[in-house]
Amino acid sequence: MSDATVAERLRRLAPGFAAAEQKVARTLFSSGMIAGLETVASLAARANVSGPTVLRLTAKLGFARYEDFQKELRNELEERKQSPLSLHAAGRSAVGGTLGKCSAIFSEGVVSSFARLSQGDFERIVDRLCDLKKAIVLSGGRVSNLAAQMLHLHLYQMRPDVRMIQTAMQSRRDQLLDVDKRTVFVMFDFRRYEKESVALARSAKEQGAEILLFTDPWQSPISRFADFVISAEVASPSAYDSLVPTFALLEAVYTEVFERLNKKALERVRRLERLRTGFEWDADSNIPSATS
């Protein structure tokens, strides 16, 4: 058997999986691989695929029997099981107090979040965001709207037809008027999930849009009908969930989008910079002195 972990093999082989197998891979990643300890029937039900699809995927990973796959996975999870306790201990005794605690928890959260996202899903998500035939519409919850705004600000500079659902204007649902099959609807919904966000995403789906969901490991109800799901850790040393891993994932996404769009993105940024000339201070600006 390969020295690579099950998750590493899954990420490496995922781009070549069939669509149904991708669903199984996504289910495994979003559960932190724990779903692989369930029966074939249970894992298949979770991923909304057939039992033979699950067995085909584990065979592609190099396992002759599903039991062998589970044994290997159980051994790897056993090695990892101390991670939450170690993280907790490190947080309590971290050198530097709050700074040490935050450094340990946020670093682990970023690493875990990136490990959850398969290379295949990452590629497909970037493909959708780079498809200039599709409009991008973004929305978030009371706090996660900040993440939606960050992605919007970057994508807007790289490509046309990118807009935010505005919360301070008319009803959010009214702003779905032009959403259709040519739309990628990007929703951010984290635990203490908001009914309005779920209803908004469902309406967009019913109108034909593809749904890209950013959520936590416990999965927003939107995940049941989303086309793409990115799960980010939310562990925090405070009483509030953290968006640090989510922002790190967003950086990876729009970094790749910029690389893919290349000259088109560069030209759009140049046009934007020309529009800004005269509206922002620069080195040649005549700034009046305090005595003038």
Same domain, 15 and 107: no
- The parent domain of residue 94 ranges over 84-116
Same domain, 176 and 110: no
Greater pLDDT, 13 or 246: 246
Query: Is residue 151 scored above 80 in pLDDT?
Result: yes
Three-state secondary structure call for residue 227:
coil
> Residue-wise over 21-58: b if at least 16 C-beta within 10 A, else e?
bbbbbbbbbbbbbebbebebeebbebbebeeebbbbbb
Q: Could you tell me if 212 and 184 are in contact, meaning their C-beta atoms sit under 8 angstroms apart?
A: yes
Q: What is the CATH number of the domain that holds 55?
A: 1.10.10.10
75 within a domain of the structure (yes/no)? yes
Lowest mean pLDDT among 149-153, 173-177, 250-254, 256-260: 173-177
Same domain, 187 and 90: no
Same domain, 108 and 182: no
Same domain, 106 and 130: no
Q: Is the dihedral of CA 157, 160, 164, 169 positive or negative?
A: positive
284 within a domain of the structure (yes/no)? no
Domain count, the chain: 3
282 within a domain of the structure (yes/no)? no
Same domain, 147 and 170: yes
> Rounded to the nearest 5°, which phi and psi values hold at 213?
-110, 130
Beta strands in the chain (DSSP E): 135-140, 162-164, 183-188, 210-215, 228-231
State the pTM of this model: 0.70
Same domain, 145 and 202: yes
User: Which pLDDT does position 2 carry in this prediction?
Assistant: 56
Query: Is residue 150 scored above 70 in pLDDT?
Result: yes
Same domain, 90 and 159: no
